[in-house]
Amino acid sequence: MKDAPTRDAYGQALVEMGADPRIVVLDAGVSDSTRSKKFGEKYPERFFNMGIAEADMVCTAAGLATTGKIPFATGFACFLLGRTMDQVLVSIAYSRTNVKLVGTHTGLAVGEDGPTAQMIVDIAYTRAIPNMVVVQPADWEETTQATRALAEYDGPVYFRLGRPKVKAIFDSSYKFEIGKGRVMKKGSDLVIFATGIMVQESLKAMEMLDGNKVTLVNISTLKPIDRDLIMEMASSHKAVITAEDHNLIGGLGDAVGEVLLDAQISKPFKRIAVKDQFAETGTRAELFEKYGLSANHIAQAVKDLLK
């Protein structure tokens, strides 16, 4: 177990997977920040720094995939998706090419990078794209396992990673599986579905509360989402909360809500998310508190729903 940013775990996992000659890594001029540089240092013949040319990188990755390679196209999420949607839609999703799009520096957790870099709509983008798998790990161990699992999966993927250090949650006994959530703590009255860094915030919130009343579920695959687990947990609890560092439109909250709507499960429901607004420059802790994402806000939402 290791306290570290998920981007660090991704870079290390690429190095460990590098013995497979099919693995190739592309980066859009930010390889030091995304940690893909680690792979490039060990396997320079299979590392391509494309510079500030994300559309070119995505198309190059698609071309490499058609030759049997497994490309990880890496960049800051705001640029990786913001500048390439046509290429992603046509060259990757529509064509079902085996490309892993890896977006780092996501959500308000980016903090001091400011609002133009705080990517809060990427889950909405990618969930809406046919053929696209969407994964966001919660810690080092899950990131490591997910990177390997996505390399084995044949098809387009969006892999959402963060900048800040997160506490270790899982140990080596944990087994990541695409499309499966994980019950982390079992309670009786209310269930929290959390993803990414918000798993850590939810655990902090539970320390402030009567832990016997709250169940926490880690949703690391946003698409395909674990419908069976969501229906089971929602049906067996009195209320539901979702927690994500993303806009409340199109993210985890909507994904869970869609499952409950389809299954005709009606429960009190609260979404902890960015409230459809741009933020500002500040530390992660400051922004989480101001914009309603902190453990304090999660704990208060639990209290309100359980009244």
Query: Mind telling me the catalytic residues?
Result: 54
Which residues in the chain belong to E strands, given as ranges?
A: 23-27, 47-49, 70-76, 100-104, 133-135, 157-160, 182-185, 190-194, 214-218, 221-223, 239-247, 269-274
d(CA 294, CA 287): 9
- What's the one-letter identity of residue 298? I
- Whether the Cβ atoms of residue 7 and residue 169 lie closer than 8 Å to each other: no
Q: HEC string of 39-83? A: HHHHCHHHEEECCCCHHHHHHHHHHHHHCCCEEEEEEEHHHHCCC
